[in-house]
Structure 1
Amino acid sequence: MINYSIIIPHRNSPELLLKAVYSVPERADLEILVVDNSSYDCIGPIQETLLSHGRVFLLYSNNTKGAGRARNVALERATGKWLLFLDADDYFLPRAFEELDTWVETGYDIVYFKSRSIVLSTGKESKRHMFHNRLIEDFMKDGNTAENYLRYRYLGPWGKLIKRSLVEDHNIVFDEVLTHEDVLFSMHTGHWAKTVQCSGNAIYCVTDSPGSLLKSRKRIHRRHAFLMTLKGMCFLRSLGKSQYHPYKNQLMPLFRNSKDLGTWELLRWIGMVLKYRWNMMPEIVEYLKRRSARIFSGLLPKPSDRNY
């Protein structure tokens, strides 16, 4: 019986991928599904080493649809009782699977675990794990008050045991966008899980690097970040739980930061707001008025330059 399906999306980081894969023990009760996102030129040299480690299966996906598409490819192939998500630049901590084994026969739909984080370039401790760990600590202190925050604010797919039947029964998939693809997946699994539990033990190390898509200033990445934040807010609004979104006050700041992307991109963002019927048009109109006023005031000659 396969207890764990470990899903790893990968693109152009072969050395880190090997570290991630080799942080998983070689065991008969697990499978490692590596989904390469169109980077065969760098997979080739490590393929033999990669496939020699236990039950590793190498799959492929379309690089234009990001990690969301890669994870969906793996979900179609997964056979384990539990799903574990591992990013190619992250890794499981030593003794992680000893901790995981203590939960494998429990009846929970999701088990959340603490994590650690490091700066990839220096190896020093980062702060990326702290928000998620606080959600777990709050739940362990007072589950009645903190459970919804845990279910709807823990938006990373990593650091969790997720029952595969939960995902299949509710047809939950990742959005196939280039960033923030895990927002709705995490919210939907959190919402549909009948029972959840937390462990105070850390099993996962997430890395922090300047090249992370979360920090990208590219137009398409910023657009997708705004889109997925908006869709997450709309999902929680449909449940009457908008207060639990971790970025509930970030939509307008994200919109204001689009000013350097050009008029057509700005219109795209307004189109997204209208499509999802999010009530921020009055704020957008007021912002555009102020922005237009600043632009036109800069075009007018100064009083000292006028000829009388």
Structure 2
Amino acid sequence: MLEISIIIPVYNAESYIERCLQSIISSSVPEGSYEIIAVDDSSSDRSLELLQKMEGQIPQLHVYHRRKAGPGGARNLGMNYAKGRYIMFVDADDYINTASFSHLLSLLISQYDQDIVGFDYLKVDLEGNEKPYSNQLLPYCREMSGAEYMNMQQPLGILWGYFFNRRFVLKNNLKFQEKIAHSDEDFVSRAFCVAETVTFLPVLLYYYCYNSESVINKQGKEYEEKRFYDNMKVIDGLCIYRQELSDSFVGSGLDRKIDYLVISVIRLLVRKRMDDEFIKMCLSFFTEINLYPLPYRRYDWKYSFFRVLTYTPKRILWWKRYIDTPVIGKIAEKIF
């Protein structure tokens, strides 16, 4: 039984793709129980060449090529070829816990048939220092619907934090938006809205590697602005999807997710020190779709506090202006 199809979108990953693949194939899992689908998205380095070479050495590795479709397009192509019961998405610059992968595939995953199975992950810096990716507490080993979970807390839009049942993905025609950033947020949100069964396992499986010096974190103004536009496009699409929902319980869960996506944009506007006119433009867009000021919701005190502190554009611009000062900066670190 082919249990897992691991889909890896690859773009200019020649310096770390081998580490990623080795973390998977070094496990003691039988080759016939999983497959790796690597999709090169028109890399300009030697990524495709390396993958094709490794394809001849790794029986379970299948390499494909797409022409500049972005990670979403690469993942869509990978899903077209996937044959496993579950689909797992891995980023080429990250890696997995080899021992946990062996444990999951050898002993656990055959016992599950939920639509979505979540697990634990850590954030790792260049020096190998590990820390939690988030402070969310997961409801381990408890089955619930995706809507029930979304009404408890917003699911993080991290594809590599979940296994997605392939039958469930096909049944609900789940696809990624192509050529935009943050398509993972859209995919995860829609998946949780329609998932009838979700569970989380207390298994540390994934290492998210963060490099503040990476090229993606040093892009110019045009690149930064595009990511904000893409984020707003995802939020707008989810708002339209929200209007189509007939189930109020699912809708209230999606409302929570959308609200926190708006919060993440506001935080980035301040952290990235975007210029005043761009900030006002983004806030004006959210005002038009009734998401700014942040809607009054009874989530928790942190949401209410953030809502008050960012209630007007003038307040947000004030935080941006004084975020580098010693006293305000320390406060802003906890808020933004």
Query: With structure 2 as the length reference, what TM-score do the two structures score?
Result: 0.70
Q: 3-state DSSP class of the match of 2:159?
A: coil
1:90-129 per-position Cα deviation (integer Å, ceiling 9, x unaligned): 111022132244123422111111112211x21111442x
Q: Is the alpha carbon distance of 1:272 and 1:163 closer, same or farther for their aligned partners in structure 2, counting shifts above 3 Å?
A: same
Which one has the largest radius of gyration?
Answer: 1
1:277 equivalent to 2:259? Answer no
Q: 3-state DSSP class of the match of 2:109?
A: coil
Determine the C-alpha separation between the residues in 2 that align with 1:186 and 1:200: 20
* Deviation of 1:135 (Å): 3.6
Determine the C-alpha separation between the residues in 2 that align with 1:154 and 1:287: 27
Q: Which amino acid in 1 is paired with 2:256?
A: Q
Percent of residue pairs identical? 19
* Deviation of 1:225 (Å): 2.6
Determine the C-alpha separation between the residues in 2 that align with 1:174 and 1:208: 23
Q: 3-state DSSP class of the match of 2:110?
A: coil
* Deviation of 1:48 (Å): 1.1
Determine the structure 1 residue equivalent to 2:333: none
Q: Is the alpha carbon distance of 1:30 and 1:204 closer, same or farther for their aligned partners in structure 2, counting shifts above 3 Å?
A: same
Determine the structure 2 residue equivalent to 1:124: 129
Determine the C-alpha separation between the residues in 1 that align with 2:175 and 2:144: 27
Match of 2:211 among 174, 189, 209: 209
Determine the C-alpha separation between the residues in 2 that align with 1:18 and 1:273: 42
Q: How does 1:28-67 map to 2 (within 5 A)?
A: 28-39=32-43, 41-46=45-50, 47-63=52-68, 65-67=69-71
Q: Is the alpha carbon distance of 1:160 and 1:219 closer, same or farther for their aligned partners in structure 2, counting shifts above 3 Å?
A: same
Please tell me whether the aligned partners of residues 230 and 251 of structure 1 are also in contact (alpha carbons under 8 angstroms).
no
Q: How does 1:171-186 map to 2 (within 5 A)?
A: 171-186=173-188
Q: Is the alpha carbon distance of 1:151 and 1:169 closer, same or farther for their aligned partners in structure 2, counting shifts above 3 Å?
A: farther
Determine the C-alpha separation between the residues in 2 that align with 1:106 and 1:56: 25
Please tell me whether the aligned partners of residues 153 and 256 of structure 2 are also in contact (alpha carbons under 8 angstroms).
no
Q: Is the alpha carbon distance of 1:279 and 1:29 closer, same or farther for their aligned partners in structure 2, counting shifts above 3 Å?
A: closer
Q: Which amino acid in 1 is paired with 2:252?
A: G
1:110-152 per-position Cα deviation (integer Å, ceiling 9, x unaligned): 1111112211x21111442x34xx342x455897997225784
Structure 2, unpaired ranges of 5+: 246-250, 296-309, 318-336
Determine the C-alpha separation between the residues in 2 that align with 1:270 and 1:14: 39
Structure 1, unpaired ranges of 5+: 292-308
Determine the structure 2 residue equivalent to 1:294: none
Determine the structure 1 residue equivalent to 2:252: 240
Q: 3-state DSSP class of the match of 1:162?
A: strand
Q: Which amino acid in 2 is paired with 1:113?
A: F
Match of 1:170 among 172, 184, 202: 172
Q: How does 1:59-208 map to 2 (within 5 A)?
A: 59-63=64-68, 65-95=69-99, 96-101=101-106, 102-119=108-125, 121-128=126-133, 130-131=134-135, 134-136=136-138, 138=139, 147-148=149-150, 152-208=154-210
Q: Is the alpha carbon distance of 1:109 and 1:234 closer, same or farther for their aligned partners in structure 2, counting shifts above 3 Å?
A: same
Q: Which amino acid in 1 is paired with 2:231?
A: A
Q: 3-state DSSP class of the match of 1:220?
A: helix
